[in-house]
């Protein structure tokens, strides 16, 4: 079985999507041939267009952007709509992480993947909505740590992918109290804005009427 692990985060370096795919690949390795593909831009990489025919499973991982899929990924999905018209029909799975605590907030984004599958003639396998995505790439992949429920869901998804099952979507959050997650996020924003030479008060700044770009 050939599985394409598609990192659809706009970030090319560290990201929650990359971290989730790394964890998933640990559960899949040895049982399938894994191909890593990055969709970090609005244009499909040539790698994807050259050999779509021999891929059995596509696993997309992306962040939740404004309650849906990131704009650059929508652009890629439109370009991919016709890519699988001939040849075997791959199964598609999705992993959507959101900065909010509740994984259920990714429900609509997973539905968009499912609707894309219907339009592209692919088989929707199901997905995971992961809450608490803000800290995922900094958490150890330990089954006793805050990432434990996420790892459990990924392990379950790996089993379903290998069995070619089509379960319902799963929604998980990190094992970390919501009020502490909120506090940690807010401390993080204050640390970041200080590192940029501004004050935490500036986080709530409302800009004055902007100068059109490029300036006259």
Please report whether residue 160 would count as binding another protein according to CB under 8 A: no
Please report whether residue 97 would count as binding another protein according to CB under 8 A: no
Mark 23-52 with x for binding to another protein (rule: CB under 8 A) and - for no binding: ------------------xx----------
Identify the residue among 49, 89, 180, 198 touching another protein (CB under 8 A).
198
Please report whether residue 13 would count as binding another protein according to CB under 8 A: no
Of 34 and 126, nearer to another protein (C-beta) is 126
The structure tokens listed for 30 are: 């040895």
69-76, Cβ contacts within 8 angstroms, sequence gap of 24 or more: 69/8, 69/96, 69/109, 69/112, 69/113, 70/8, 70/9, 70/10, 71/42, 72/8, 72/10, 72/39, 72/40, 72/41, 72/42, 73/8, 73/39, 75/42, 75/43, 76/8, 76/39, 76/42, 76/43, 76/44
In the complex, minimum distance from the CB of residue 159 to another protein, in angstroms, rounded to a whole number: 27
Longest dimension (CA), the chain: 61
In the complex, minimum distance from the CB of residue 151 to another protein, in angstroms, rounded to a whole number: 22
Please report whether residue 65 would count as binding another protein according to CB under 8 A: yes
Please report whether residue 180 would count as binding another protein according to CB under 8 A: no
Of 41 and 51, nearer to another protein (C-beta) is 41
């Amino acid at each position: 079985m050939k599985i394409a692990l598609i990192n659809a985060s706009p970030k090319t370096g560290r990201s929650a999507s990359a971290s989730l795919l790394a964890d998933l690949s640990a559960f899949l390795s040895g049982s399938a041939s894994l191909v890593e593909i990055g969709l970090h831009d609005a244009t499909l990489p040539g790698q994807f267009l050259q050999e779509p025919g021999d891929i059995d499973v596509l696993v997309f991982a992306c962040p939740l952007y404004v309650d849906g899929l990131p704009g650059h990924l929508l652009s890629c999905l439109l370009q991919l709509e016709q890519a699988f018209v001939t040849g075997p029909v791959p199964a598609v799975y999705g992993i959507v992480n959101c900065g909010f605590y509740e994984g259920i907030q990714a429900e609509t984004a997973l539905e968009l993947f499912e609707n894309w599958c219907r339009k592209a003639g692919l088989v929707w396998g199901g997905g995971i909505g992961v809450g608490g995505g803000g800290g995922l790439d900094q958490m150890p992949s330990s089954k006793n740590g805050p990432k434990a429920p996420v790892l459990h869901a990924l392990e379950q998804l790996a089993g379903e992918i290998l069995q070619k099952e089509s379960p319902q979507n799963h929604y998980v959050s990190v094992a970390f109290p919501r009020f502490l997650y909120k506090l940690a996020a807010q401390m993080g924003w204050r640390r970041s804005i200080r590192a940029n030479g501004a004050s935490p008060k500036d986080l709530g700044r409302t800009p004055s009427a902007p100068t059109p770009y490029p300036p006259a």
